[in-house]
Structure 1
Amino acid sequence: MKRILILLLLVLLPVLTIGQTKAGGIVYDDAGSPIPFANVVFAGSTEGTITNEDGRFYIQSDATYTGLKVSFVGFQSKEVALPQKVNYDLKITLGEETESLSEVVIYTGKQSKKNNPAIDILRKIWENKRSNGLSNVKQYQYDKYEKVEFDLNTIDSALINSKIFNKMEFIFDQMDTSRITGKTYLPIFINERSSKVYGDNILGKEKEELEGNRNSGFSTNQTLIAFIQELYNEFNIYDNYLKFFDKSFVSPLSTTGIDTYNYVLADSTFIKDKWCYNIIYYPRRSNELTFKGDFWVNDTTWAIKEINLQVNKSANINWVKEIYIEQEYDVLNDSVFLITRDYFLSDFSLRKKEGSRGIYGKRTTLYDNYTFDKKLDEKVYDERVSKYDEDVYTKGDDFWEEKRLEPLSKDEKGVYVMLDSLKKVPKFQRLYDAGAVLVSGYYEWDKANLDIGPVFSALGFNDVEGLRVRLGARTYFDQNDPWRLEGFGAYGFKDDKFKFGISGKILLDNKARLIVSGGYRQDIEQIAASLTTSTDVLGRNLASSSLVTVGNNDQLTSLKLANFAIEAEFLKNLIIRSDMSYRTLKSASPTFNLDYFTDFSQTEIASEVKQTELVLSAIFEPGKRTSGYGVERTTSNEWFPTLFLGYTKGVEGLFNSDFDYEKLQFSYRQPWRMGGLGTFSSTIEAGKTFGEVPLGLLSVIPGNQNLFSIYGTFPQLNYYEFVTDTYATLHLEHNFGGRLFGKIPLLKKLNLREIIGFRGAWGEISNENQLINASNIRYIAPDSKPYYEYSFGVGNILKILRIDFNFRGNYLEVPDARKFGVTGALEFSF
């Protein structure tokens, strides 16, 4: 009975909606062909939309209207009566405006760049964009309210009656209809955020002070909140490229927009006593990261008053079927237009077909109470929030009634109650647990406050251990834990040996982020897969336990490592760390050795290295954002550089340590967004060891004998192929994002992405370090000429797979040199 009532509610919902006007349909020409990008507005208003590539439209308003006005340059405008509040499946035909065909351009295709009044207006926008907005004042403050909601969309009877929602049918009581797409949807999550923003354009600094945050069911989960913030990061409509979902979309206001979009001057009218022009724009080419839509621009300040953007459906972007953006601006200070409202809707879906089901992500941001030229002490901007303030995440209803700049709808209010009820349903809890494992890699054992995993490290294989099984766990009370213990146990069925590791860390001071850590590990590792020696006791090397490799993977090392470290972050994103470690290294395989001579006469040989090291290192990651305030934090963004500088001192004699030496290492990694050209990654590493050391302590150019593409390694190098004590490496990779394949007719619809890569290495090894080697194998270093590789890759295969074709550039005469290879990786990206 309850299912029938919900189904009836779904059927009757459109006609029971009060105080709204809804309309949808298709606009045709006289020949019966759909008209794309036609302008559709409620008669007597500026509320409107444009038709999509198939001539379809959907429009909705909270106000009551009795008609639509449909216009298209080169055609006669037409008013259509709306006899009901809800009018679907309208078929509207526009006749050609024959009397003025010689005076206007019909924009069914590419528009002329010359003598186009819309482009003349666009140039005025470029000239004046820096005199509009917050950059025109010295200091500023404003209130900011943000609401993010996720909705399950395209609700039908089949979904309501599906087994997955058995005993959870009550959630469908909150269904509504989207004013943008006309689809039914069910709100399933809502997050509200209220903050105060301070900025100083002279200092070039800005700070956002969070005053309150709450969401339905997960109010104190800062990691989830940070994920939402990064998913819907802010952007400036006047920038050449708008960056979200890890993509760079060409803005319709871009200075390169003339080559990317068609522009048509469609209308002009008063909007709140300001005369404005209406310009429609749409992309010149398909498959590019572009929009379609229209905007209203003021005729004196040439500032945007209103704009809407809808991503082109053929754009090369995964998992997102629709993106729709609205922004509104108002005159708030001396004719300066400032944003007052920003609405962002995205439809996440596995498929882009019209009827496919997905999830709406909706963000509404409101801005109010602007204050200008109020100077604050510079210290205000440099202060960091170092402790978790529970009060911020548990504000009461009175706070939100005051801070909300627009009220919640009845359905939005219901989400808070619905999700609290849903969390008590055992079936929902099981689904939630399964999802958490896929996202985090850990199974949450709540009763014991333990996370079991990572589950993806449970199985591995190498020539020494054979099949390897691994089980790990870590303490987890919440994401602000001031201390954490972690450990693992592993067993190899071929070598019949047990391996284990345990570590602990504690946060002693929140403000300076002073952390003390220590641990011990006894394991098998491929130490030739990384130039920078990890001080992470529980670090797991993919090269030592991959399921599939190329050639023999027997050059493994039996490692015992004890480490103690102190680190601090006195300045934001600058971590200074000091380590003291003791490790022993010996070969784990009879076909590989780390033997070295212990005397000048080369008569005594040792097979095990015992070494004590003191390490001082610094990591600087400007622009990095994190969530949580505990001993471990989660990184919530990725487009920032990483600089590493390390100094290592080997101390002979301390705890029977064998060698005295020094090592300097430096690395710099920078990902770059290249606008319409895609993304680019670059990494430089360099290092030098001073003193005589055996193979286990030298710097090996990292090879990769896996079938997985691992950035930072050389896929055509075997392990230990190049051994150095002085080195420099370069890694470059560019992903065009489908810009080239999108121009090839047969490949266009596949949305493939082309990737090119280049890798180079130079290094040398001293005679002293050659002579200490007792393995009867002379080390080779790429000193006479740098070694290099290059690769061509195809990404986004079936949206999840990347394949790289790798070529060795030189040193082809080296025994067992691999001239060509194929590697792959699973990539889940937008």
Structure 2
Amino acid sequence: MKHLFTILFLFLSASVFSQTKVSGTIKDASGQPVAFANVIFKDSQEGTISNEDGRFYLESDKTYTGVVFSFIGYTTQEVDLTKRSTYTMEIIMEESASSLDEVVVFSGKTSKKDNPALDILRKIWENRRQNGTKKFKQYSYDKYEKLEFDLNTIDSALIKSRVFKGMEFIFEQTDTSNITGNTYLPIFINEAVSKVYGDNILNEEKEVLQGNKNSGFDNNQTLIAFVKDLYSEYDVYDNYLKFFDKAFTSPLSRTGIDVYNYVLLDSAYRGNKWCYNIVYYPRRKNELTFKGDFWVNDSTWAIKEINLQASKSANLNWVREVYIEQEFEVLNDSIFLITKDYFLSDFSFRKKEEARGVYGKRTTLYDNYVFDIPKDKKFYSEQVDPYQYEVYHRPDEYWEQNRMEQLSKDEKGVYKMLDTLKTVPRFKALYNIGATLASGYYEVNNFDIGPIFSIFGYNEAEGLRIRLGGRTYFGQNDPWRLEGFGAYGFGDDRFKYGISGKWLLDRKSRLTIFGGNRRDVEQTGASLTNTNDVLGRSLASSAVISVGANDRLSRINLTTAGFDVEPLKNFVVRITGSYRTLESATETFSIDYRVMEDGIFTGEIRSEIRQPEIEVGLYYTPKRKTSGYGVERTIINDGDFPTLYAGYTYGLKDVLGGDFEYKRLQGLYTQPWNIGGIGRLLSTVEVGTTFDPVPLSLLNPIPGNQTLFSLYNTFNQLDFYEFVSDTYASLHLQHNFGGRIFSRIPGLRNLDLREVIGFRAVYGEISEENKALNASNIVYQAPEDIYWEWSVGVGNIFRVFRLDFNFRGNYLDNPGARKFGVTGVFGFSF
């Protein structure tokens, strides 16, 4: 979501008027809206249908003298046009007496029995896997994709606002959307030409980018990739279509009859194929559904044309409209292949018609299909250089030859106007503000100051804490980066710091070396899976408000050095050497341990740990998408791919004064699941064991949570160090229903709230040898009976907040056990 705030400050340009425009509402004699009526320019095939409120908008580059309105059961009307633009038309349609005896007009909820539209829908289900590229063993095709952003709802108040002072020239010409009827101004465009290869036997697909051109963002692949992922590929034949991290029920879904009404509206030739026209619309409000119509062939039962418009009442944040059109062509009298896909979304902070926002449009064209030419599996596994200079700098002649659709005049204007706009000082200021809010860093020459959101903090060791940091930044594809911070605690009167650096040595294998040092106060044991990230810091260490005594903090001096490499896409091997010293940061917390030599306790007790380690980590993130090719890459589809980690750590004794020798194995598996129309589940399994005796600071405390924030992969009703283990296995489940339950409750359905449930469980053991080493003020207890807790939450409060009610399942007799608690979390989501 952070990129959406930047969109409002993107580069602006001008556009031109269309030749004929009409809009208005269609009603019957009683004043009720007529939904899904046909609106067609006279003597043409250019038309649209009215929405569920009877509203329509239609435009054309050509000049027409009339509009024809028709619908089954009503008399066809023809209205003359006396001027180029005719808005706020009100059409009253009269019932046709001659057709009432022959046609059944469906309204409201349609029956699931004796409905010819449902008979056709069942035929589609039976044949849906026999169409498209799935019909062949292998396939390839050319793809042209055009992405565009437009500032919409342009009016005089916006043009005269102080925000655009000095930039009024960009409003000299605007255009009007044929979907929403709102005025808009194009502000960004990106074009891409690709070659796509696929193998249905190997279940592999590969897209090779051959050309990319955009208006003013030559070096911002992050924004471009983010937009592309926003409009990820989909198949209308699937039961659920995923947009904006939400699963919409497809009108062609096998479960569609439970959430849609279907009406057989018409039958006619579409091209040279006889097709049926079916209109569909939601049975209930507030669900993730569409409205629209589709044309289906009468023999292959393949879709010829389809349009989908998200219901305005759908539980979707920041998006006012979603509209999709797809067209298919016949390959050999029976197989239909997609040739055009158009996707429009209207982003806005409010859903009211007059609210301003930003259109996001994607037009994808497909051509030159070739089938059954196999390529070996190695072809699909070979990595392609994510950035090639010539791909992003193709000459104009290349685009003239490879565009499958010519740019309109307003789209061409985006390229021309940009250079002028970038010279306007006020625009530069607006863009810098947006970039700072989006990234959290403020750019000064080649250095970023931040992150600005972590300047202030508080904990019981440091009291009020002030932190100021920064990083080098010459561009998103920097081959090296330095980063650091300085912090001061007014409670302990101490200065802390951290500095790190990394350098990409080989772009193809992504061989990277890194190192750094940090002296700080930290809540160790805040997560089960260890990390040696020099600049990492958990929220538990700086939460302003906490539950109970949050004093179990340590002073850490951590130095690391290592390298990682990516031999296969999204598979990373990392080797890290580290050295750290640990001691308590408060007088009320102890990490003391008994000293043992040759298996015998010496009677000495130490309060400081010095420990070098070598760690080998394997990271696999299939389906992860990134942008950029520098030492740091931006993850585009964060939270939308599985993560697997396996790590082996070896502790060194008597090397650099190391206190302990030990071996540790750890594993983690996180998987998000889109479960049809009932929401999204996030699951995590963690396991680990330490084979040799070690003191408290080197064990695996079960991560409690004494903050007021809901922290995933922690236990909200546990205190820090309440359970300590050397062997553990944990499970975390969190399911978001997306408002499916609340949408059925009167009084709640219009609030767009979302239901979230959670379950957390952990099993652990602690050896007698580890207990014998302990000289701290922490009493070791492992959850051998499997500790568990559960939660219910209400999300999407004011669109940015979730409130969780947490319940402890067992170990209720532990001293100070918290049986119930309330936590919350802020976040932006669609």
Over the residues paired in the alignment, what is the CA RMSD in angstroms? 1.7
1:790 aligns with 2:790: yes
Q: For the residues of structure 2 that align with 1:112 and 1:794, how far apart are their CA atoms?
A: 35
The residue that corresponds to 1:570 in the other structure is 567
Amino acid at match of 1:254: S
Q: Which amino acid in 2 is paired with 1:755?
A: V
How high is the TM-score relative to the length of structure 2?
A: 0.95
Deviations 1:141-163 (A, max 9, x none): 22111111111111111110000
Instruction: Kindly indicate whether the alpha-carbon contact (under 8 Å) linking 2:219 and 2:476 is maintained by their aligned counterparts in 1.
Output: no
Residue 474 of structure 1: which of 460, 471, 476 is its match? 471
Is the 2:614–2:650 Cα contact (8 Å) retained in structure 1?
yes
* Counterpart for residue 82 of structure 1: 81
Does 1:512 find its partner at 2:509?
Answer: yes
Map 1:289-688 to 2 at 5 A. 289-386=288-385, 388-446=387-445, 449-599=446-596, 600-601=600-601, 603-637=603-637, 638-688=639-689
Distance 1:391 1:201 in 2: 31
Asked whether the 8 Å contact 1:388–1:480 carries over to 2, the reply is no
Following superposition, the deviation at residue 192 of structure 1 comes to: 1.0
Quick check: 2:208–2:384 contact (8 Å CA) kept in 1?
no
Which amino acid in the other structure matches residue 607 of structure 1?
A: S
Counterpart residue type for residue 460 of structure 1: G
- The equivalent residue for 1:712 is 713
Contact 1:264/1:279 (CA < 8 Å) preserved in 2?
yes
Q: Which amino acid aligns with 2:658?
A: S
Question: For residues 776 and 636 of structure 1, do their structure 2 counterparts lie closer, same or farther at Cα, with a shift above 3 Å needed?
Answer: closer
Cα separation, 2, equivalents of 1:774 and 1:83: 93
Residue number in structure 2 paired with 1:742: 743
Q: Which amino acid aligns with 2:633?
A: R
Contact 2:127/2:302 (<8 A) preserved: yes
CA contact (8 A) 1:49 1:293 kept: no
Q: Which moved more, 1:88-97 or 1:469-478?
A: 88-97
Structure 2: distance between partners of 1:253 and 1:62: 33
Q: Cα gap change, 1:776/1:220 in structure 2, threshold over 3 Å: closer, same or farther?
A: closer
Counterpart-to-counterpart distance in 1, 2:758 and 2:179: 42
Tell me the equivalent position of 1:10: none
Amino acid aligned to 2:820: F
Secondary structure class of the residue paired with 2:331: strand
The residue matched to 1:518 in structure 2 has which SS? strand
For 2:113, give the aligned amino acid: K
In structure 2, C-alpha distance between the alignment counterparts of 1:689 and 1:104, rounded to whole Å: 76
* Separation (CA, whole Å) in 2 of partners of 1:553 and 1:597: 25
Q: What's the counterpart of residue 247 of structure 2? A: 248
Aligned counterparts of 1:558 and 1:703: Cα–Cα separation in 2: 19
Superposed displacement of residue 262, structure 1? 0.9
The whole-number CA distance in structure 1 between the counterparts of 2:392 and 2:194 is 12
Deviation, 1:601, is 4.3
Amino acid paired to 1:530: S
* Compared CA separation, residues 530 and 160, structure 1 to 2 (3 A): same
Counterpart CA distance in 1 for 2:272 and 2:86 is: 32
Match of 2:3 in 1: none
Greater displacement, 516-525 / 100-109? 100-109
Return the letter of the residue paired with 2:825: A
Counterpart position of 2:30: 31
Instruction: Give the match's secondary structure for 1:520.
Output: strand
- 1:107-158 CA distances to partner (integer Å, 9 max, x unpaired)? 2201111221111111111122222101112222221111111111111111
Measured after TM superposition, the shift of residue 85 of structure 1 is 3.5
Deviation at 1:375, TM superposition (A): 2.8
Residue aligned with 2:172, SS: helix
1:414 is paired with a residue whose SS is helix
Task: Give the distance between the partners of 1:549 and 1:215, measured in 2 at CA.
Answer: 48
Quick one: distance in 1 between partners of 2:356 and 2:122?
41
1:728-759 CA-partner distances (Å, limit 9, x unpaired):
11110110000000001100110000100011
Deviation at 1:369, TM superposition (A): 1.8
Matching residue of 1:812: 812
Partner of 1:821: 821
User: Which amino acid in the other structure matches residue 603 of structure 2?
Assistant: T
Tell me the equivalent position of 1:761: 762
Q: Number of residue pairs matched? A: 813
> What is the alpha-carbon distance in structure 2 between the residues aligned to residue 777 and residue 244 of structure 1?
48
2-side partners of 1:286 and 1:673: how far apart?
Answer: 21
User: How far does the alpha carbon of each residue in 1:748-800 deviate from its partner, in whole angstroms, 9 at most, with x for none?
Assistant: 110000100011111111111111111254211111x1111111100111111
Distance apart, 1:46 and its partner CA: 4.5
**2:17, 2:173 within 8 Å by CA — same for their partners in 1?**
no
SS of structure 2 residue aligned to 1:280: strand
Distance (whole Å) between structure 2 residues aligned to residue 720 and residue 112 of structure 1: 60
Which residue number corresponds to residue 7 of structure 1? none
Q: Equivalents in 2 of 1:387, 1:223: separation in Å?
A: 12
* Change over 3 Å in CA distance of 1:419–1:255 after alignment to 2: same
| In 2: Cα distance, 1:199 partner to 1:754 partner | 39
- Secondary structure in 1 aligned to 2:430? helix
Shift of 1:602: 6.1
Distance 1:275 1:542 in 2: 62
Work out the CA distance in 2 between the residues paired with 1:401 and 1:222: 23
Q: Distance in 2 between matches of 1:373 and 1:601?
A: 73
Give the Cα separation in 2 of the matches to 1:590 and 1:17.
73
Identity rate, percent: 63
Per-residue CA deviation, residues 142-194 of structure 1 (Å, 9 max, x unaligned), is 21111111111111111100000000111113411112222111111111111
Contact 1:666–1:687, Cα closer than 8 Å, also in 2: yes
Deviation string 1:33-73 (CA, Å, 9 cap, x unpaired) is 22233333334554332222321111223344443333334
Q: Specify the alignment match of 1:6 in structure 2.
A: none
Deviation for aligned residue 1:102:
5.3
Whole-angstrom CA distance in 1 between matches of 2:421 and 2:99: 61
Contact 2:589 2:777 in 1 (8 A): no
